[in-house]
Copies of this chain bind each other. A is one copy, B any other.
């Protein structure tokens, strides 16, 4: 298969193109708009080996400025844009998986785009290239997947616009997608991000050398406009924090720079460099086509619309966001999570603490975290996770269970086969892993600490990184059979609302907490006049305890009574002596377990 003249203009080098493959579609490719593209060309690279039952294919979708060269093919190869993620023993391990990375339709790195020859005219499409959509990008990728004879993709992953494609895949070809791992992405742009795109496109279109897109015959290209668009976009990829780090100390010391854009400020010379570099490797028409496709991508402005669009998906989901990403802010990933949770689809989520902004998903600093999550997720989906490889428990002292088989077995005993179980404040998922033995139909954890979430992933737990004080709205009425709030009550901000929510979303609640009226605690305050302190959960001093609630069994019973909550069962334990307490538990038990339901 030969490369087209115009496509190859912007390809990187001979080294890269050795591995670049092309698929040419012999029949017209019909776009969503009804328009057709003749002689569709899909440029792509592959890594690793497709296994015999073709079940190990991972499709990587690139962002607006990316291409098919996701990683090096050999030591001497040119760098790929995601070398930190893709390769032998990397998170997307090419010893295990067959990785496919196509250049996107409408791009300028091999696949058909505005700078390709239009077979009808023999000239580059230019402004005649039809406005494609993310749906069309995915349809073109599907042509490739069919050509490769793959019926089902193990995973589709990508960040930013690559995330858009990944999500769209699950919507468009639900039967072909086993899982999606979307990074730094969303269901649509924010209006702010959309506005930046619009300004960037205007900068290109107003460049007189743009000539309404007919610049291919000219010696001059709309380089100024494209560079301005890129400079602007580049600001949105960084964060305030990363820019401070990069430029604050030497603000007035611009780098020597061939570009004439800026010679006063260091941040300016950096942006000018980025802009100028981009012009050399990217086509302005392609930038307009792709950024417009991004701007029109829209799975819904609210949960209702999102649900309608995601309803027919049947894959397992993972979303990763980055705390300082203001272009695709975490709340947008959370909207996707909310919609999928309401649809009762399997979804995991982690918001990684990072100062690197949107670019974080491409950077080495954070790959220890998002790489680990992706690796665990792929292993889980492919069934290669060693279930009991789980790290040694990293339980903190806010969880006293499981040092004590009594408690563990006891909570387990309250859960039945087939139950849908939600564990609030699940830490690294120890309880959920225990519950796997029960053949529950759903096991989901909620945990606020991203580090514990990452640990959980390693054991294949389905988990959502969220604050239980605000994150329970997303669940439907009676979505679970059992919700567990194990030794977490004492650190909850809004107890009333949280318990109301628990009883809304599940038929049964299991709530355990340390009893503040346990005899030694009472005696300490009464006789010694000191704030009660014991081992374990009450092992803190008054001035450094993370606990903010000090309930007694009597208080909790009164609370349930006042709130019209039915106490179905209650169990009281002396954990030190490993025995159940029947007599005056409010005095003699250090731990209470209540099983509640709506009245």
Contact = CB atoms under 8 A, between A and B. Distances in A.
Contact of A235 (B192, B268, B326): B192
Contacts of A364: none
A461 interface: no
8 contacts: A195-B231, A198-B264, A206-B224, A249-B301, A494-B544, A517-B531, A522-B529, A530-B555
A265 B194 contact: yes
B271 A191 contact: no
Number of copies of this kind of chain in the complex? 2
A548 interface: yes
Contacts of A554: 528-530
Given A195-B267, A267-B194, A329 B531 contact: no
Query: Which has the most chain B C-beta neighbours within 10 Å: A244, A264, A525, A544?
Result: A525
A402 interface: no
Interface string A298-328: 1001000000000000000000000000100
Given A224-B206, A228-B202, A235 B531 contact: no
Contacts of A224: 202, 206
Interface string A105-131: 000000000000000000000000000
A195 B243 contact: yes
A235 to B, nearest CB: 5
B195 A235 contact: yes
B559 A543 contact: yes
Interface in A459-504: 494-496
A9 to B, nearest CB: 24
A554 B541 CA distance: 13
Interface in A326-359: 326, 329
A147 interface: no
Given A199-B231, A268-B195, A295-B265, A526 B530 contact: no
Nearest to A233: B199
B543 A496 contact: yes
A261 B202 contact: yes
Interface string A533-570: 00000000111110011111111001100000000000
